[in-house]
C-alpha cells in the first residue's frame, strides 16, 4: 500500500497568521488521521473492485462505503456549512485543507462530499427557506448526499443545448429527460440522494437563458420512489470507485431552486465552488505523487552518482542522488506547495466574501478560480506522470500505486469545465471582460511584493525573477485584447497558453511570498503567539523550493507567451 502523510506543516505555515489558526491545527490533525488511515486504506482495493450496477442499483466497494460513513458520521460534511442547518461553520481555508487531504488519499471517494457540499452551497444561495430547512439538515448531517445534473449526451461544455424538461404541476414540477456523467448519481452509502437538475420550463427561451434549476430527491419525503433511475454506469480510465451514472428522470417531482430561467446562475454558484475543489484535486495529486516518488527515490538503488559514490556500502546510490530525479521531485513539490498557497488564498477570499460585500475580493476570486482549476489540474497531471517516471517500469505496474494516481488524476482537466473552458473564462470573461481591472488587482500585489523586497539581503535575485511579470502580464493581455476586438477567435487562439502563463506567474508570486516569509521567520525572532513553530530545515526548504521554481519552472511562461502572441493565423487547419 502506498503511504501518504498529510502535509500538516505546510498547511500550518499558510494558516499561521489567520484568526482560526488554532482551530485549523486541531481539526486538520484529526482529518489527517482519517485521510492517512481509513481513506487511504481503501484507495487501491476500491480501484481494483470498482462499482457494481445491478438492476438500477449501484453499490460501492464495501470498504469505500465504510470509509465514507466514517467521514459522514464524524460530522465532517458540515465542516464549513452554516450552523443554522447543523454545520460547524468553519472557515473555507480549513475546509480546503481537509478537502486536499481527502482527495490526496482517495480521489474517487473525495468526490462524494465535494459534490454534496457544492450542491448545498447552491441550495443555500438560491433555494427557498422551506427547501433549505427540509433538505439541508439531513445532507449536512451526512445522512443524504447530493449531485449536480447538467450534462446530456449531446451537451457537455455547451449547456445551452440542454433538453431535459420540467412541467409545472401545482407547487412542484415534473421532470423528464436523461442526464449523463452524474458522479454518485446512484450509490448505497447514503439514505437519499438530492439531485440538482438543469432543465427547461415549457415557456423557456432557447439556449442558456432558458435553463432553470430544480431540486429532485431520489426519494420523496413520503418515502416514495421519485422515478429517478440509474440506467447504467460508465467504464472509465480511472476513479473506478466513483460511479458515473446515466440518470433517467421519468416524470420525477422537482422543486424550483431560485427564479425560473435563472438556473445557470444558481448552477454557477455550485460550479465555482466545484472548480476550486477540482483545483484542490490537482494540488492533492501533486502532493501524493511527490510523497510516493520521494520515498521510492530515497530507497531505490540504481547507478552511481556522476559526481562520485554517495552510498559506498550499497550496491548503488539511491536514485535521488541523480539530479534529474531531483528535478522531477522538485517539480512535483513546487506544484503542490505553490498550488496549495493559491488554493488557500482563494479560500481566504471566499471567507472574506461571506463577511463583506467587497467588489475587489470578488473580482480577485473570480480571476483566480479558473487558474486554480485549470492550471493546478494540468500540472497535477505532470506531477503524476513524473511519479510514474521516477518509479520507472515499476511505475507502470498496478502494485506500486502511482499508475492509479496517473489514471485517476486525468479526469480533473476534463470535468467541471475542461482546461479550454477555464481558459476562455479567464481570458474572455475575467481579464478582457473588465479591461484587465481584476488582473491589475493581482499584478499590483506582485508589483508591491517585488518593490518592497527589491533590496532584500538574501532573496533579491529571486525577487528580480518575478518582478517583470507585474508589467508583462497585463501588457500581454492588452495586446491580445486589441487583436480580439478585430477577431474574437484571437482570444480562443491565445487562451490556453494565456491560462498556463498566468498559472506559472501566480505560483511564482506565491512561492516568492512564502520564501520571503520563511526567510523572515528564520532571521528574526518568531513572535510568541504563532501557533506553530517551524524548524529551520522546513523554512530553508521553502526558500530552496522557491529558488527552484523561479529559476527552472517560471521560464516556461516565456514559451507560452511567445506561442500565444502568434495569433489565430498560426492555427490554420492543416488537414
All three cell numbers of 575, joined, read 488537414
Out of 167, 397, 448, 485, the residue judged to bind a copy of itself by CB under 8 A: 397
Q: Does 209 bind a copy of itself (CB under 8 A)?
A: no
Out of 234, 359, 360, 530, the residue judged to bind a copy of itself by CB under 8 A: 234
CA angle 58, 155, 481 (to 5 degrees): 130
How many Cβ atoms sit within 10 Å of the Cβ of residue 254? 25
Q: Does 156 bind a copy of itself (CB under 8 A)?
A: yes
- Binding region for a copy of itself (CB under 8 A) out of 61-69, 96-104, 468-476, 548-556: 548-556
What is the nearest approach in angstroms of a copy of itself to the Cβ of residue 398? 4
Residue 357: partners with Cβ closer than 8 Å, 6 or more residues away: none
| Sign of the four-CA dihedral 161, 165, 170, 171 | negative
Contact (Cβ atoms closer than 8 angstroms) between residue 91 and residue 102:
no
Q: Does 410 bind a copy of itself (CB under 8 A)?
A: yes
Q: Does 482 bind a copy of itself (CB under 8 A)?
A: no
- Lay out the site mask for a copy of itself across 505-544 (x = CB under 8 A, - = otherwise): ------------------------------------xx-x
- Compute the distance between CA of residue 368 and CA of residue 510 in angstroms, rounded to an integer: 13
* Interface positions, 177-206, toward a copy of itself (CB under 8 A): 181
Q: Does 454 bind a copy of itself (CB under 8 A)?
A: no
Q: Does 45 bind a copy of itself (CB under 8 A)?
A: no
Residue 169: partners with Cβ closer than 8 Å, 6 or more residues away: none
Residue 146: partners with Cβ closer than 8 Å, 6 or more residues away: 115, 116, 119, 120, 139, 193, 194, 195, 196
Out of 213, 364, 496, 516, the residue judged to bind a copy of itself by CB under 8 A: 496
Nearer to a copy of itself, 273 or 337 (CB): 337
Task: Give the residue numbers marked as catalytic.
Answer: 416
Q: Does 3 bind a copy of itself (CB under 8 A)?
A: no
What is the nearest approach in angstroms of a copy of itself to the Cβ of residue 230? 16
Nearest in space to 506 (alpha carbons), one of 345, 332, 358, 363: 345
- Compute the distance between CA of residue 16 and CA of residue 6 in angstroms, rounded to an integer: 17
What are the φ/ψ torsions at residue 454 (nearest 5 degrees)?
Answer: -60, -30
Q: Does 491 bind a copy of itself (CB under 8 A)?
A: yes
User: Would you call 257 helix, strand, or coil by DSSP?
Assistant: strand
- Compute the distance between CA of residue 463 and CA of residue 469 in angstroms, rounded to an integer: 11
Nearer to a copy of itself, 218 or 491 (CB): 491
Q: Does 573 bind a copy of itself (CB under 8 A)?
A: yes
Q: Does 354 bind a copy of itself (CB under 8 A)?
A: no
- Binding region for a copy of itself (CB under 8 A) out of 100-108, 127-135, 268-276, 491-499: 491-499
What are the φ/ψ torsions at residue 311 (nearest 5 degrees)?
Answer: -135, 70
Nearer to a copy of itself, 213 or 500 (CB): 500
User: Would you call 249 helix, strand, or coil by DSSP?
Assistant: strand
Out of 89, 299, 452, 562, the residue judged to bind a copy of itself by CB under 8 A: 562
Nearer to a copy of itself, 72 or 148 (CB): 148
- Lay out the site mask for a copy of itself across 415-434 (x = CB under 8 A, - = otherwise): x--xxx--xx----------
- Compute the distance between CA of residue 122 and CA of residue 214 in angstroms, rounded to an integer: 11
Q: Does 489 bind a copy of itself (CB under 8 A)?
A: yes
Nearest in space to 96 (alpha carbons), one of 331, 275, 319: 275
Q: Does 480 bind a copy of itself (CB under 8 A)?
A: no
Q: Does 312 bind a copy of itself (CB under 8 A)?
A: no
Contact (Cβ atoms closer than 8 angstroms) between residue 145 and residue 189:
yes
What is the nearest approach in angstroms of a copy of itself to the Cβ of residue 404? 8
In the DSSP assignment, the letter for residue 394 is: G
Q: Does 49 bind a copy of itself (CB under 8 A)?
A: no
- Lay out the site mask for a copy of itself across 132-151 (x = CB under 8 A, - = otherwise): -------------------x
User: Which residue in this structure is represented by grid cell 473588465?
Assistant: 434
Instruction: Give Cα 253 to chain centroid, integer Å.
Output: 32
What is the nearest approach in angstroms of a copy of itself to the Cβ of residue 40? 20
User: Would you call 166 helix, strand, or coil by DSSP?
Assistant: strand
- Compute the distance between CA of residue 409 and CA of residue 292 in angstroms, rounded to an integer: 15
Q: Does 338 bind a copy of itself (CB under 8 A)?
A: no
Instruction: Give Cα 501 to chain centroid, integer Å.
Output: 19
Q: Does 94 bind a copy of itself (CB under 8 A)?
A: no
Q: Does 571 bind a copy of itself (CB under 8 A)?
A: yes
- Lay out the site mask for a copy of itself across 262-301 (x = CB under 8 A, - = otherwise): --------------------------------x------x
Residues forming a β-bridge with 245: 182, 233
Nearer to a copy of itself, 154 or 451 (CB): 154
Nearer to a copy of itself, 473 or 548 (CB): 548
- Binding region for a copy of itself (CB under 8 A) out of 128-136, 234-242, 450-458, 466-474: 234-242
All three cell numbers of 502, joined, read 498566468
Out of 189, 325, 379, 518, the residue judged to bind a copy of itself by CB under 8 A: 325
Out of 273, 287, 403, 519, the residue judged to bind a copy of itself by CB under 8 A: 403
Residues forming a β-bridge with 145: 193
Q: Does 322 bind a copy of itself (CB under 8 A)?
A: yes
| Sign of the four-CA dihedral 117, 196, 345, 558 | positive
Nearer to a copy of itself, 168 or 323 (CB): 323
Q: Does 313 bind a copy of itself (CB under 8 A)?
A: no
Out of 5, 70, 143, 326, the residue judged to bind a copy of itself by CB under 8 A: 326
Out of 324, 359, 360, 520, the residue judged to bind a copy of itself by CB under 8 A: 324
Instruction: Give Cα 23 to chain centroid, integer Å.
Output: 23
All three cell numbers of 382, joined, read 505532470
User: Would you call 253 helix, strand, or coil by DSSP?
Assistant: strand
| Number of residues near a copy of itself (by CB under 8 A) | 90
- Compute the distance between CA of residue 113 and CA of residue 119 in angstroms, rounded to an integer: 10
- Binding region for a copy of itself (CB under 8 A) out of 31-39, 106-114, 271-279, 326-334: 326-334
End-to-end CA distance of the chain: 47
Amino acid at each position: 500500500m502506498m503511504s501518504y502523510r498529510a502535509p500538516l506543516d505546510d498547511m500550518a505555515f499558510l494558516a499561521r497568521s489567520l484568526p482560526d489558526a488554532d482551530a485549523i491545527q486541531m481539526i486538520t490533525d484529526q482529518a489527517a488521521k482519517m485521510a492517512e488511515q481509513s481513506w487511504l486504506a481503501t484507495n487501491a482495493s476500491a480501484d481494483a473492485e470498482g462499482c457494481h450496477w445491478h438492476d438500477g442499483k449501484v453499490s460501492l466497494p464495501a470498504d469505500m462505503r465504510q470509509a465514507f460513513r466514517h467521514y459522514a458520521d464524524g460530522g465532517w460534511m458540515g465542516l464549513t456549512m452554516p450552523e443554522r442547518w447543523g454545520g460547524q461553520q468553519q472557515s473555507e481555508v480549513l475546509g480546503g485543507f481537509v478537502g486536499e487531504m481527502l482527495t490526496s488519499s482517495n480521489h474517487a471517494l473525495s468526490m462524494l462530499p465535494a459534490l454534496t457540499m457544492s450542491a448545498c452551497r447552491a441550495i443555500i444561495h438560491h433555494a427557498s427557506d422551506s427547501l433549505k430547512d427540509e433538505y439541508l439538515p439531513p445532507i449536512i448531517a451526512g445522512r443524504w448526499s447530493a449531485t449536480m445534473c447538467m450534462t446530456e449526451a449531446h451537451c457537455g461544455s455547451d449547456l445551452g443545448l440542454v433538453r431535459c424538461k420540467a412541467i409545472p404541476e401545482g407547487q412542484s414540477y415534473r421532470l423528464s429527460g436523461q442526464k449523463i456523467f452524474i458522479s454518485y448519481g446512484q450509490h448505497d452509502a447514503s439514505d437519499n440522494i438530492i439531485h440538482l437538475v438543469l432543465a427547461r420550463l415549457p415557456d423557456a427561451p432557447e439556449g442558456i437563458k432558458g435553463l432553470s434549476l430544480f431540486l429532485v430527491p431520489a426519494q420523496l419525503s413520503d418515502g416514495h420512489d421519485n422515478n429517478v433511475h440509474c440506467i447504467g454506469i460508465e467504464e472509465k480510465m480511472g476513479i473506478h470507485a466513483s460511479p458515473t451514472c446515466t440518470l433517467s428522470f421519468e416524470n420525477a417531482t422537482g422543486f424550483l431552486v431560485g427564479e425560473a430561467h435563472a438556473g445557470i446562475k444558481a448552477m454557477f454558484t455550485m460550479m465555482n465552488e466545484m472548480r476550486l475543489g477540482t483545483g484542490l484535486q490537482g494540488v492533492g495529486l501533486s502532493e501524493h505523487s511527490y510523497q510516493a516518488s520521494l520515498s521510492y527515490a530515497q530507497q531505490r538503488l540504481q547507478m552511481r552518482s556522476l559526481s562520485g559514490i554517495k552510498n559506498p556500502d550499497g550496491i548503488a546510490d539511491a536514485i535521488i542522488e541523480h539530479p534529474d530525479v531531483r528535478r522531477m521531485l522538485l517539480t512535483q513539490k513546487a506544484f503542490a506547495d505553490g498550488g496549495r498557497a493559491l488554493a488557500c488564498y482563494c479560500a481566504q477570499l471566499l471567507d472574506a466574501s461571506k463577511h463583506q460585500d467587497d467588489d475587489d475580493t470578488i473580482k480577485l476570486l473570480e480571476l483566480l478560480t479558473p487558474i486554480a482549476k485549470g492550471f493546478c489540474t494540468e500540472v497535477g497531471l505532470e506531477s503524476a506522470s513524473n511519479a510514474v517516471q521516477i518509479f520507472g517500469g515499476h511505475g507502470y505496474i498496478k502494485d506500486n500505486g502511482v499508475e492509479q494516481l496517473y489514471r485517476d488524476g486525468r479526469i480533473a482537466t476534463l470535468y467541471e469545465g475542461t482546461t479550454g473552458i477555464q481558459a476562455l473564462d479567464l481570458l474572455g470573461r475575467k481579464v478582457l471582460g473588465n479591461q484587465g481591472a481584476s488582473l491589475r488587482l493581482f499584478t499590483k500585489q506582485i508589483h508591491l511584493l517585488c518593490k518592497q523586497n527589491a533590496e532584500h539581503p538574501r532573496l533579491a535575485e529571486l525577487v528580480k525573477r518575478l518582478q517583470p511579470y507585474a508589467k508583462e502580464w497585463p501588457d500581454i493581455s492588452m495586446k491580445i485584447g486589441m487583436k480580439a476586438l478585430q477577431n474574437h477567435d484571437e482570444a480562443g487562439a491565445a487562451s490556453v497558453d494565456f491560462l498556463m502563463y498566468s498559472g506559472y506567474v501566480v505560483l511564482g508570486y506565491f512561492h516568492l511570498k512564502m520564501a520571503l516569509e520563511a526567510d523572515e521567520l528564520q532571521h528574526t525572532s518568531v513572535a510568541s503567539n504563532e501557533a506553530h513553530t517551524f524548524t529551520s530545515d522546513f523554512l530553508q526548504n521553502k526558500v530552496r523550493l522557491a529558488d527552484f521554481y523561479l529559476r527552472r519552472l517560471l521560464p516556461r511562461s516565456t514559451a507560452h507567451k511567445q506561442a500565444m502572441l502568434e495569433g489565430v493565423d498560426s492555427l490554420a487547419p492543416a488537414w
